[in-house]
């Protein structure tokens, strides 16, 4: 059996990453996270593209070095085609196309959302098909029925903000540094999740809405700080715990409905927000109660990384799914 050696590039947002996989086994996964955005409280697309240009070649060299693989041994070069920021995607795709052409190797174009889901196959335990995946990141919130690596159906998604944005935007209102998700998580551990109540975005079907939460937190804080300027500082942990609780309830309510309606008992969590300790604990408790099985990848493979792109490219290689050298990045690339 042929064991393809694949170099994968991820550059859809603000992490520059390269990974090497051989026969489905991960040999290296190098990520350079861009610090430049912190001072702006959000990702600045122009700065992201420039930082990708600076980081990409060293990151690729480091991945090949750690994997102890010479570029001549590669069987394919994979890259994230979308969705993501156009300028960022262009840097990764231009590099991958040029590199593949120079080596005379095939090119594989990967969907970033598919890659977040297939991150579950990098290491055991792996979910069995079909399973339900909740992908929650800074840019996306999706419920997907996964029937095979290439057969995925998006059954629900956010109509406004992503779950990660809900964490980051509310954290910003509380004065926490960017990205706020991990800071809010840390504070929430010390607080009371039912002290304050915020609206759970009620959507028909399996969709999500988080913009109402942000607005209600904003008005609530304005009202409270008008009476007590130290309100946030005095109640930070309870505010974080209550906001986190609301986001988790919003996510889990739709997840349960989707799993029950579709008879799915294998539940997977993907994307950067899968790092949230409250979400992990709540999902683990919920699935134990229902007798379902839950799968959460290692943190390294939850946030943006090229390892998941390499895993996806491995499946595509097996299916003979190669890209034309003329392929373009697509910032709005759809999963189904
Ligand atoms: O998947 P990811 O690395 O990048 C995107 O594709 O968006 O996800 C980043 C998002 C950010 O919004 C970040 O605040 C959030 O994941 N995040 C968290 C935690 N760790 C990362 N949100 C809540 N709790 C965390 N522990
Ligand atoms: Zn992502």
Question: How much of the chain, in percent, has pLDDT values that exceed 90?
Answer: 90
CATH of domain 127-296: 3.30.420.40
Known binding positions: 112, 116, 135-139, 168, 181, 185, 276, 304
In the predicted model, what is the mean pLDDT of residues 273-278? 96
CA quadruple 293, 335, 333, 316: dihedral, nearest 10: 90
- pTM confidence score: 0.95
Q: What is the pLDDT of residues 136-156, one digit of tens each?
A: 999 899 999 999 999 999 999
Q: What is the pLDDT of residue 155?
A: 98
- For residue 1, pLDDT beyond 60: no
| Ligand closest to the CA atom of residue 10 | 2
For all residues of the chain together, what is the average pLDDT?
A: 96
Name the segment(s) of the chain with CATH classification 3.30.420.40: 5-118+301-318, 127-296
Q: What is the pLDDT of residues 73-131, one digit of tens each?
A: 999 999 999 999 999 999 999 999 999 999 999 999 999 999 999 999 999 999 999 99
Q: Are 95 and 56 in contact (CB under 8 A)?
A: yes
- For residue 193, pLDDT beyond 80: yes
pLDDT grade for 2, boundaries at 50, 70 and 90: low
Q: What is the pLDDT of residue 207?
A: 97
d(CA 310, CA 11): 13
d(CA 51, CA 16): 8
Query: For atom 2 of ligand 1, which residue has the closest CA?
Result: 272
Q: What is the pLDDT of residue 201?
A: 77
Q: What is the pLDDT of residue 200?
A: 82
Q: What is the pLDDT of residue 215?
A: 95
Known binding positions for Fe cation: 112, 116, 304
Residues surrounding ion ligand 2 at CB below 5 Å: 137, 304
Q: What is the pLDDT of residues 240-257, one digit of tens each?
A: 999 999 999 999 999 999
- For residue 289, pLDDT beyond 90: yes
**Which of 137, 176, 278, 281 to probe ligand 1 with, by most ligand atoms within 8 A of CB?**
137
Q: Which atom of ligand 1 is nearest to the CA of 303?
A: 3
CATH of domain 5-118+301-318: 3.30.420.40
- Ligand 1 residue neighbourhood (C-beta within 6 Å): 13, 137-139, 164, 167-168, 179, 181-182, 185, 271-273, 275-276, 303-304
The alpha carbon of 226 and the centre of ligand 1 are apart by a number of angstroms equal to 31
| Ligand closest to the CA atom of residue 113 | 2
In the predicted model, what is the mean pLDDT of residues 214-229? 98
Question: Which tokens belong to 28?
Answer: 């290296």
Q: Are 79 and 9 in contact (CB under 8 A)?
A: yes
SS (H, E, C) the chain: CCCCEEEEEECCCCEEEEEEEECCEEEEEEEEECCCCHHHCCCCHHHHHHHHHHHHHHHHHHHHHHHCCCHHHCCEEEEEEECCCHHHHHHHHHHHHHHHHHHCCCEEEEEHHHHHHHHHHCCCCCCCCCEEEEEECCCCEEEEEEEECCEEEEEEEECCCCHHHHHHHHHHHCCCCCCHHHHHHHHHCCCCCCCCCCCCCCCCCCCECCHHHHHHHHHHHHHHHHHCCCHHHHHHHHHHHHHHHHHHHHHHHHHHHHHHHHCCCEEEEECHHHHCHHHHHHHHHHHHHHCCEEECCCHHHCCCCHHHHHHHHHHHHHCCCCECCCCCCCCCCCCC
Q: Are 8 and 18 in contact (CB under 8 A)?
A: yes
Q: What is the pLDDT of residue 34?
A: 84
Q: What is the pLDDT of residue 226?
A: 98
- For residue 133, pLDDT beyond 60: yes
């Amino acid at each position: 059996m042929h064991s393809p050696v694949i170099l994968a590039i991820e550059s859809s947002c603000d992490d520059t990453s390269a990974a090497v996989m051989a026969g489905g086994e991960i040999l290296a996964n190098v990520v350079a996270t861009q610090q430049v955005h912190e001072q702006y409280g959000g990702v600045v697309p122009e700065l992201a593209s420039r930082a990708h240009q600076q980081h990409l070649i060293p990151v690729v060299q480091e991945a090949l070095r750690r994997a102890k693989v010479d570029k001549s041994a590669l069987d394919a070069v994979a890259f994230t085609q979308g969705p993501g920021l156009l300028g960022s995607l262009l840097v990764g795709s231009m590099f991958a196309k040029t590199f593949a052409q120079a080596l005379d190797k095939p090119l594989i174009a990967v969907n970033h959302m598919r890659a977040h889901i297939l991150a579950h196959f990098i290491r055991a335990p792996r979910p069995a098909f079909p399973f339900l995946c909740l992908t929650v990141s800074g840019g996306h919130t999706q419920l997907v029925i996964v029937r095979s690596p290439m057969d995925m159906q998006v059954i629900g998604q956010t109509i406004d903000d992503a779950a990660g944005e809900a964490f980051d935007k509310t954290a910003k209102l509380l004065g926490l540094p960017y990205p706020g998700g991990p800071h809010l998580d840390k504070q929430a551990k010390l607080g009371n999740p039912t002290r304050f109540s915020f609206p759970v975005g009620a959507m028909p079907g399996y969709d999500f809405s988080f913009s109402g939460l942000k607005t209600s937190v904003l008005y609530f804080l304005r009202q409270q700080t008008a009476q007590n300027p130290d309100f946030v500082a005095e109640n930070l942990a309870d505010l974080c715990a209550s906001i986190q609780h609301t986001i988790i309830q919003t996510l889990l309510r739709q997840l349960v409905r989707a799993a029950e309606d579709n008879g799915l008992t294998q539940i997977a969590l993907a994307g950067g927000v899968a790092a949230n300790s409250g979400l992990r604990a709540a999902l683990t408790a919920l699935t134990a109660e229902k007798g379902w099985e839950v799968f959460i990848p290692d943190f390294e493979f939850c946030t943006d990384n090229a390892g998941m792109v390499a895993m996806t490219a491995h499946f595509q290689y097996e299916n003979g799914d190669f890209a034309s050298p003329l392929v373009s990045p697509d910032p709005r690339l759809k999963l189904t």
